[in-house]
Amino acid sequence: MQYMKSHLQFRLVILGFLLVLPGFVYSQSDVSALFKSSPADATKLAQAYLKPFFKGLGTGLNSGWNNSAHSKNLLRFDLRFGITGAVVPQPDETFDLSQIGLSTNLRPTNPAQTMSSTLSGSKDNNTQMTVYDSNNQALETFTLPGGTGLGLIPTPQLQGAIGLSRGIELSVRAMPTVKFGSDFGSIGMFGGGIKVELIPLISGMTDKILPLDIALAAGYTRFTYDLPLNVPAPATALPASPNQANNFTNQRVEANFSGINTEFIVSKRILVFTPFISLGYNAAKTNLGMKGNYPIINGVTPSGQRTYSVFTDPINIQQTDINGFRTNIGFQLNLAFLRIYGSYSMAEYNSFNGGIGFGLGK
């Protein structure tokens, strides 16, 4: 079977996600690097190229839930805004093309040049790939996209919390679906968390019987993204079959990212300053797909006329990005109605979190 080339724009998969992150702004008209491969190879390249983004975003979704083991008193509340910066390890700034399972129809033009930038790698990437047909005839050469040159994945958090009785505190993260137009798509987020201060729960007393606050907490966040695409049939190619689909108006990127975080927290309030430490488990998943019908070059007639076939939902990524323990150390500073937060997390992707908030009561 002859190798199938695609005229899908690879970096369209990421441009909308980066829209909401400081320092990254793309639009469809900005995308100049084309990615041309079969659907299977496109998926593998997307997974490798976007690995730091998937892991960094998962780290951010699981961060900033708690900055103290103390649960708010009954009906006391606060609203906070924070941002997490996940630090990309140096090995994840590049990936090895020979290790990701590409087909033999897609190979580095220079066999000795198998390393390429990920999203967080160098901007000056010049790794070239060549597409071959089933007869090992070179069909086309292209350059893989470079990175941002920034080894940091930022993630914002907007969160509200309220205290209930017996040392229980509930938190909510929410953002209604926001549409940015056809170039950037739409985003949305929701999530919820609970923190249980153990001593009040067990004893039924709000007075201190230990010099420390101890709590268990859990939180879940889901971030969604949708982007309409416009990948028309090549103007110089003919359909391989008159019966294949010719409706390309249903093209879009659909993605959701979810994270769950659990932790055991110990803190000590010293006047307006509260340092804390926590140990927990967190996991994050990605579900991303390019949906709809896409024309993919798959042949050339004896006269030299190119032909294309239509493939439906060509890229689908479903994977677990994070699955392990993390340790946090940080502080909370209470200044009347103002709250200042900061913490550092040690895990597969180390990260730092900072933010401000406004609240009523302890």
Tens digits of pLDDT across the chain (362 residues): 333 333 333 333 333 333 333 333 333 333 333 345 678 888 888 889 889 999 999 999 999 999 999 999 899 999 999 999 999 999 999 999 999 999 888 899 999 999 999 989 988 877 898 878 777 877 677 788 888 888 889 888 889 999 998 889 999 998 777 776 666 678 888 999 999 999 887 776 655 667 899 999 999 999 998 888 887 887 878 888 888 888 888 888 899 999 999 999 999 999 999 999 999 999 999 999 888 988 876 667 777 777 888 888 888 899 999 999 999 999 999 998 899 999 999 999 999 999 999 987 67
Residue 5 forms part of a structural domain: no
Q: What is the pLDDT of residue 5?
A: 35
Residue 97 forms part of a structural domain: yes
Could you list the residue range(s) of the whole structural domain that residue 117 is in? 12-360
Q: What is the pLDDT of residue 30?
A: 32
Residue 346 forms part of a structural domain: yes
Cα 7 → chain centroid: 24
Residue 127 forms part of a structural domain: yes
Residue 56 forms part of a structural domain: yes
Cβ pair 108, 114 in contact under 8 A:
yes
Q: What is the pLDDT of residue 240?
A: 84
Confidence (pTM): 0.83
Cβ pair 53, 128 in contact under 8 A:
no
How crowded is the C-beta side of 270, counted as CA atoms within 13 Å?
7
Q: What is the pLDDT of residue 182?
A: 65
Residue 335 forms part of a structural domain: yes
Phi then psi for residue 90, to 5 deg, are: -55, -40
Residue 3 forms part of a structural domain: no
Residue 7 forms part of a structural domain: no
Q: What is the pLDDT of residue 361?
A: 67
**Rounded to 5 degrees, what angle do the CA atoms 125, 128, 133 make?**
155
State the total domains in the chain: 1
State whether the Cα torsion 264-193-170-353 is positive or negative.
positive
The 3-state DSSP class for residue 14 equals: helix
